[in-house]
Chain A
């Protein structure tokens, strides 16, 4: 499968724990995006990378959220000290330049 993959697909954690999600984009895609989708809502943009450079992070929801793309390939999104309000679907998408974005299946997070 050469699409965008995300791991894990589901994560249940207790409030206060740290979680990390991984996204593997389509190999030739230089741009990678993270979005969050809560139940019944459209996704919202969090951050994006062009190669290894994080070009926009002001939309990250708080300083508990951070993302990396160390070698311009896969990316990780970390949430520290999780809160119940962080429960959502976290989506990753990749694209080559300004062509169509391809979305991964998402990681569904539940914070108890």
Chain B
């Protein structure tokens, strides 16, 4: 079974700061997902990646397959970025996604 660890669990930062959330997993995968969940809300997929780097607006996701590690970066953070960010992996013998516990991000004005 794949173990997915995220760090930090909680992060509070000031508006404009550069944010990094890390994710590591224990077993080889076919893809890694970064997801965003607002309080009481549904889950939105931000990125799905299997190698390299992807960028969408102020969000950047990278993955290092050899080291079994991924990072999600937010540049010029804004209070509306406040949410729970969840890393999830697929493959490695499992059919559905295996999720981390999430990183609770608060961006203060």
Which of A59, A91, A103 lies in contact with B44, CB distance below 8 A? A103
Which of A41, A93, A99 lies in contact with B101, CB distance below 8 A? A41
A50 to chain B, nearest CB (A): 10
* A residues adjacent to B (C-beta < 8 A): 33, 35, 40-48, 55-56, 59, 91, 93, 98-106
Which of B30, B31, B88, B96 lies in contact with A42, CB distance below 8 A? B88
Which of B4, B48, B95, B100 lies in contact with A48, CB distance below 8 A? B95
Interface residues of B in 91-109 (CB under 8 A from A): 94-102
Beyond A100-B45, A100-B48, A103-B44, whether A56 also contacts B95 by CB under 8 A is yes
A75 to chain B, nearest CB (A): 14
State the CA gap A47–B95 with chains docked (Å).
8
B26 to chain A, nearest CB (A): 15
The interface centre, meaning the residue of B31, B33, B43, B102 with most chain A CB atoms within 10 A of its CB, is B43
Number of interface residues of B (CB under 8 A): 22
Q: For the A-B complex with A35-B97, A43-B88, A98-B30 known, give 14 more contacts whose Cβ atoms are closer than 8 Å.
A: A42-B88, A42-B99, A42-B101, A45-B94, A45-B97, A48-B96, A55-B95, A56-B95, A56-B96, A91-B42, A93-B43, A101-B45, A103-B35, A106-B42
Interface residues of B in 60-109 (CB under 8 A from A): 86, 88, 94-102
Write the chain A residue with the least CB distance to B48. Answer: A100
Query: Is the CB–CB distance between B96 and A45 below 8 Å?
Result: yes
Counting CB contacts under 8 A, is B41 at the interface?
Answer: yes
Which residues from A are CB-within-8-Å of B42? 91, 103-106
B51 to chain A, nearest CB (A): 14
